[in-house]
Amino acid sequence: MTNILVTGGAGYIGSHACKALARAGYVPVTYDNLVTGWQDAVKFGPFERGDLLDRSRLDEVFDKYRPAAVMHFAALSQVGEAMAEPGRYWRNNVTGSLNLIEAAVAAECVDFVFSSTCATYGDHDNVVLDESTLQQPLNAYGASKRAIEEILRDFEHAHGLNHVIFRYFNVAGADPDGEVGEYHRPETHLVPVLLDTIDGNRDALTVFGTDYDTPDGTCIRDYVHVCDLVDAHVLGLEWLEQGKGSRVFNLGTGSGFSVMEVIAQSRSVTNREVPYEIGPRRAGDCTKLVSGSTRAQAELGWKPKRSRLETMVTDAWRWHQTGLYQK
């Protein structure tokens, strides 16, 4: 069977990707330092603990498994932290990714699927973003991801490293079978914070601003189900296997939901009240941020199946109720 090296495979998106890869007939090899991931999420293939900054450890893993491709999720990803500690983000995300890319090329593993972000685009408020939108990141997180995209392009020209880059928006939901789900330390994503609040683990959710130019005054974001997202990554891997060359794809639904709509849906799914309070706007929050994903649909044949808001919240609530995230 074909081995695929999955960096960050013990994290939220990476663990779902490992399940999708296993279902598609691959062997996902998780490489993770467990700083933000958790080992209990590694259920679908072998686990190798290691850091991207440790080049000799990467070489050992490439030599042991001889992967046919890399699926790279591992990164620090908190925007507030990135603004306060930019050096940490440049060192971890960029230097670590460069180590990984060089190790892959040295091992003649030249198919590479990269998890990028809409944060590379910066502040393009209230427009639908597509792959040609100017990249103007506002913080070290988005800037580090853009830098890695540029490294991949340079290594394609110099070493024939074929790559698919996915830039995506707000990821939500969980494995409908309840085997893996969303778990961050600390948790900052809206849906799990909402469910934590509903469950009494937080006093109240803070809604940051209700004076935006939207129907209910709260920000609108494009949400995509994590299972739809990782399905696209498997399609990206197949794209590379078929020799179709390097490509960039946005992943989103092309529409969005406001904070108040997510709150209302959470109330409907759980049949519980949602304690929340109104706070001031956060610096840098856009009114509306949505993705144009027609390229992924037309070229990859990607068809989101679970990215309805009700489905995403329902799957997240089912996972939340397992209590596995608390272990």
| Same-domain pairing of 126 and 205 | no
| Same-domain pairing of 263 and 237 | no
111-159 confidence digits (pLDDT tens): 999 999 887 877 776 677 888 887 888 788 889 999 999 999 999 999 9
19 domain-assigned: yes
For each of the chain's 327 residues, which pLDDT tens digit applies? 899 999 999 999 999 999 999 999 999 999 999 988 888 899 999 999 999 999 999 999 999 999 999 999 988 777 667 777 888 888 888 999 999 999 999 999 999 999 998 878 777 766 778 888 878 887 888 899 999 999 999 999 999 999 999 998 889 999 999 899 887 677 778 888 888 899 888 888 899 999 998 999 998 889 999 999 999 999 999 999 999 999 999 999 888 899 999 999 999 999 998 899 999 987 767 788 888 788 999 999 999 999 999 999 999 999 888 766 554
| Same-domain pairing of 211 and 293 | yes
Mark which of 208, 231, 251 sits at the end of a domain: 251
| Same-domain pairing of 215 and 126 | no
pLDDT at 327: 47
| Same-domain pairing of 92 and 205 | no
| Same-domain pairing of 139 and 218 | no
CA distance 145 to 149: 6
| Same-domain pairing of 105 and 145 | yes
Contacts for 92 with CB less than 8 Å, ≥ 6 apart: 52, 53, 75, 76
* DSSP state at residue 94: I
| Same-domain pairing of 271 and 292 | yes
Of 63, 105, 81, 111, give the one whose Cα is nearest residue 236: 111
Q: Is 104 helix (H, G, I), strand (E, B) or coil?
A: helix
57 domain-assigned: yes
Backbone angles phi, psi at 137, to 5 degrees: -60, 150
Query: Total structural domains in the chain?
Result: 2
Kindly list the distances between the CA atom of residue 315 and the CA atoms of 10, 18, 163, in Å, as whole numbers in the listed order.
Answer: 19, 18, 31
183-218 confidence digits (pLDDT tens): 767 777 888 888 889 988 888 889 999 999 899 999
Half-sphere exposure of residue 293: CA atoms within 13 angstroms, side-chain side: 27
pLDDT at 167: 93
What is the chain's alpha carbon radius of gyration, rounded to the nearest angstrom? 19
pLDDT at 284: 64
178 domain-assigned: no
| Same-domain pairing of 101 and 125 | yes
Please give the residue range of the domain that contains residue 55.
3-172+223-251
Model pTM score = 0.92
| Same-domain pairing of 15 and 123 | yes
CB atoms within 10 A of CB 149: 17
- Active-site residues: which are they? 141
| Same-domain pairing of 48 and 150 | yes
240 domain-assigned: yes
86 domain-assigned: yes
Mark which of 234, 251, 268 sits at the end of a domain: 251
177 domain-assigned: no
| Same-domain pairing of 321 and 246 | no
Beta strands in the chain, from DSSP E residues, in sequence order:
3-7, 27-32, 47-49, 69-72, 111-117, 127-129, 162-168, 170-172, 205-208, 220-221, 223-225, 247-251, 257-258, 276-279, 288-291
180 domain-assigned: no
What is the CATH number for 301? Answer: 3.90.25.10
165 domain-assigned: yes
What is the CATH number for 229? Answer: 3.40.50.720
Q: 319: which 2 tokens?
A: 């996972």
